[in-house]
Structures are given as structure tokens and as C-alpha cells.
Structure 1
Amino acid sequence: MSGTLCIDGIAVPFSDGQTIIEAARSAGVYIPYLCHRPGYAPYGSCKLCTVKVNGRTNTACTLPAADGQTVISNSPDLQHDRQRITQMLFVEGNHFCPSCEKSGNCQLQAVAYHQNMLDNHYPHFYAQRELDASHPDILIDHDRCIFCNLCVRASKEKDGKEVFGIAGRGIHKRLIVNSPSGKLKDSDISVDDEAAHVCPTGAILVKRSAYLAPIGERIYDHHPISEVACEKAVLDTQAAKGHASCDQAQLAGQVPQNSGSDSHYAASMPPAPDIKHGR
């Protein structure tokens, strides 16, 4: 089954089996996320993709798209909540962008810029977490892990190895390595594994590759994440030809009459700042 839903006043077509975030991405409409990855099963842990669907909040990466849905993804209260979530992620670990090898390629950093997060309202936690550099090709900086579970899922579902796991709860939660010693060197992870490359922060890095792309020439140095996240999907679906408004779709009987009622929120939000080198 396919149909059309309305996202921030834009009529967005979807295909059978797509979630709201997948339909939005295919149409070039960016909804922030950190634990989601195209081609992976829905997870819904980071809550950054929370939207309002017919007036009720839900995560866009887990909720299936349905014909006639009215989705608000860009209202002031949702933006406020996303900014606070992002700030809390920053204070819980070592996310000091100027000194991080992932700067410019970091999804967490790019999301923070998209949320206009230029300072923080919370004190830093300064957790003491170890760095595991025992493997010849891959390292883990546990102080940068945001527990998105992408590496856990990639290792199990894509690589068939189950190298990683999550243990503990609350402030005692931690990423673990399933090896006799608990160290990467004794695991069967390979630099070719998908699990070594899916981390949205600098928690898992391939050694000797961090500075191959100079600062200023990295993924998010010149293009905001809202463009990068949607570009391939838009090209794949030929959605770049333009969007119909929900009013236009209503004329065709595709969406309810109240679908565009909150579309002014998207226009009222300030543009994301230019990404500065080394931030």
C-alpha cells in the first residue's frame, strides 16, 4: 500500500513499509536522528526524531507511514526538546569538538549545529571511562559513546558477529566487547566490518584514518546535515523536482483539511549557522 502524508505542510508520498522518517528522507524533508540508519530495523532510542502525528507524539523512525497522517516535525516545542536532548548527550561524555578526530564528520556535532546549539545549559558530567586501543586497527573511546546501539546492531545484523553489547543501566550503562578479556584485541572485529564504521560520534574510530581528510574538507564542513542526510534519497527517488503543498494535495483528496495548519513553524525557525572549521 502507498499513499500520502503531510509533514509540516508538505505533501509527502510514501511506499508500503516505509516509516515516517524514511518517507520524509525520500522526499528531502530532514528529521534529525542519531540512532537511526537507513537499511536498519527501527530502534527509537535517541528520541531526536520525535514528531507529532495527528496531535500525538511518536518517534518518526518507528512509526509506519499511513495515508492521511498529519505530521509536525519542526514546531518550537519539538525543537526545544531536541536541543535539550543534544545538550545532555554532550555533557555526558568527552564531546569537545576542536580536539576530536571526528570533527567535521561527526553526526552528533552536525545535529548540534542544526539545533543551533552554540552553548550548553547543563554542567559537564566528566565521567571516567576507559579508552580501548588494544586492537591494531580500531579503537573505542567509551567517553564518546551515546548508546545509540548502532555498532551492536551492525555487528549482529550485518556482520553476523555480535562483537558489541550494552550492559548496565542509567549512569552505569556501558558499551562492552564480547571477548574473553573484554578488549577489542581479543574480539573477531575486522576493519572491514560495518560495525567499525557506523558510529555517529568519535566513539569507534579506525586508526590511521582520522585525518586523511583535512579539516575543512570533511562531510559536514560545507553542507549541513539536513542536506547530506537527504541528498542520496532524493536523487534515488527523483523527489528533487519539488514538493506539493498539503493544500494542493487536498484538492486531489489525498490528505485531511487540517494538514497544513502548523506549517508556519518550519518557516519561523532560524536557519542553521554555517559550520566552522574545527568545531
Structure 2
Amino acid sequence: MTPTPTGRATARSIADELRTEIRSGVLRPGDVLPTSRVLAERFGVTPKTVGSGIDLLKAEGLVIGEQGGRRRVRANKPIVWNLTKFERNGRRDSAAGDDWSTAIRDAGREPAQHVSVSTVPADEQVARWLGIPVGESTVQRVRIRTVDDQPYQLATSHFPSTIAAGTPLMEERDVSLPGGILAFIGYPQVQIRDEISVRMPDPDETERLQLPPGTPVAEHVRIGYGEAGPVRVMVTIAPGDRHKLVYELEV
């Protein structure tokens, strides 16, 4: 334990020692932390000081709180999301699932996608991505992607209504077609552009993805281009503790 000038533990020194135990494996993912009373006796402080130290670990995303007052070491099994292969030539869409779902199943996990569809005017950002006027109609598909029944991604796609109207993209379900829906309806993607940023989530993302405090997210924007220009933009919010993003490039 990190000593202080008086030899008395502080919230910071308690957090430092517990963090070391988590990272060294003494406290493993999923382990329940000792109670505040037990830790207070161990460190020679009040339960309030212990609580302040654990709050620091919660803010770092190392510890989560549960009902009943228990605190547990965060345990997540990240997925490897290979963005080089995702939606490229030879994509694995079928009636059983799209390219993303197939990759998750190949990794021995269980995917699901919960879909809602609406027609909305393009805001300034979406209009820039799609190269259309602000306010022009788009079809918006919002998918909450789960892995083993846990929310892993929030994916929101926008399509120009001139492309999506009257197609399976309007169906409020997890639609998957061989080669991808856009290729199936006559608008295959021939080029993609990715934009990735890392930030803290907003309150809606925190709620929908069930994010513990202190969890950053990656915002992955993928713009798909057809022969005549953009045909789709998809914005995926991916919790940082549940993903490893991979690119494989020839040099």
C-alpha cells in the first residue's frame, strides 16, 4: 500500500493498491471486492474513505457497482472487430445473418440485432457524409447489436430515400441477404471510407449500451460509395472495453 506522511491510507492509496491487485490478477475479472467494512479494517480507515477509493476505480472503469451494494471487478470478453474484412469483397451475408453476425458466430459467440426503422430528414452531418442537401429525406436504421445477450454496439445507418424506399431496408427486422442488401437492390458499394474517434458516451448511449461509469467509446463512421456517389453512412458506437479494432493493410 502506498504510504502517506502519517502512515494512514487515503482514498487514492487504497485505489492504487486495489488497482495493482486487479492488474496483477490477484483480483480477477468478475471477482466481488471485499466489503467496505473488511477493507476499512485492512487499511485502517473508515468505510467512507474506502468508498471514495473504490469510486476512483469505478471512474476508471475497473470496478462496477451492483444491486445490493456489491462491487465487482469488471469482466468483459472483448470481440475482435476486423474492420479490414468487414463488408469487403467476399462478405459472408446469408439468410442466417449479415457479415457482422457471421463473424461473431465464427468466434464462438451468439449475436443478435434489434432493429428500428424511420424516415428522417438529413441533418448537417449526415448530409455532408451522403452528399445530399440538408433536410432531404433519408431512411434511418438503428440497430442495437448484442453478443451473448449483452449490448456491444449501437449502429445507426442512413440511406438516401431514393435508394431505400420500397426495399428490404424499410423492414423493421434483422434483414440479411446474400452479398449485402445494397448489392441485392442494385447499389453495391465499391469504396468505403472510415472515420474513427474516441470519446466519452452521451447519456443515451450510456443507457442503451448499459455502460458502467468511466467507459469510453469508439465512434466508427463508415461511408459506403457506389458508382455514382455515397449510398450509405453507418455510425457505430462501440464500448472500448468490449472491442479490439483491427486493420490489416498491405504495404
Q: What interval of TM-score do these two structures reach, taking the shorter chain for normalisation?
A: under 0.3
Higher relative contact order (CA 8 A, sep 6+): 1
**Could you say which structure has the higher strand fraction?**
2
